[in-house]
Chains A and B, each alone.
Chain A
Amino acid sequence: MTKPIVVEQLTKRFGAFEAVADVTFTAPEGAITALLGPSGSGKSTVLRMIAGLEVPTAGHVWMGDEELTVKSVQERQVGFVFQHYALFRHMTVADNVAFGLSVRKESKATQRARVEELLELVQLAPFARRYPDQLSGGQRQRVALARALAPRPQVLLLDEPFGALDARVRQDLRRWLDGLHRELGVTSLLVTHDQEEALELANRIVVMHEGRIEQVGTPREIYDDPATAFVAGFVGSANVLHGEVIDGHVHLGTFRVPGAAHLDEGVAATAYVRPHDIRIDRSGTSDVQATVERVSSLGWLARLTLVLPGGETVVAHVPQHELHGASEGDVVSVDMRNPKAFARDGLDGGAVDPTDDPAAEPPAVRSA
Chain B
Amino acid sequence: MVCYVAVLLLLPLASIIWTALEPGWATIRETFTDPDVLHALYLTAVIALITVIVTAVFGVIVAWVLVRQRFRGRSFLNALVDLPFALSPVTVGLACVLLFGLGGWFKPWFDARGIQIIFALPSMILVTIFISIPFVIREVQPVLEEVGVDEEDAARTLGASVWQSFRKVTVPNIRWGLLYGVALSAARAIGEIGAVLIVSGGIQGKTETATIYIFRAVEERQTPSAYVVALSLALASIVLLLTIELAKRRVEKERAR
- A residues with a Cβ closer than 8 A to B are 51-53, 73-74, 76-80, 82, 84, 86-90, 99-100, 103-104, 133, 144, 147-148, 150-151
Contact = CB atoms under 8 A, between A and B. Distances in A.
Interface of B is mostly: helix
Nearest to A77: B159
A151 B158 contact: yes
Contacts of B164: 103
A53 B68 CA distance: 13
B173 A51 contact: no
Given A51-B157, A103-B161, A151-B159, 8 more contacts: A52-B156, A73-B153, A86-B151, A86-B153, A86-B154, A88-B154, A103-B168, A104-B159
Given A90-B172, A90-B173, A133-B257, A103 B158 contact: yes
B150 interface: yes
Contacts of B168: 88, 99, 103
Q: Which of B151, B153, B159, B169 has the most CB of A within 10 A?
A: B159
Q: Which of A52, A89, A104 has the most CB of B within 10 A?
A: A89
A-B pairs with lowest CB-CB distance, top 10: A86-B150, A100-B158, A80-B157, A86-B154, A73-B156, A103-B160, A90-B172, A133-B257, A103-B159, A103-B164
Interface size, B (range): 10 to 19
A99 B153 contact: no
Contact of B153 (A82, A90, A104, A133): A82
Interface of A is mostly: loop
B155 interface: yes
Contacts of B147: 89
Contacts of A84: 150
B257 A89 contact: yes
Contact of B150 (A82, A103, A147): A82
A299 to B, nearest CB: 40
B157 A79 contact: yes
Interface string B138-164: 000000000100110111111111001
A74 B160 contact: yes
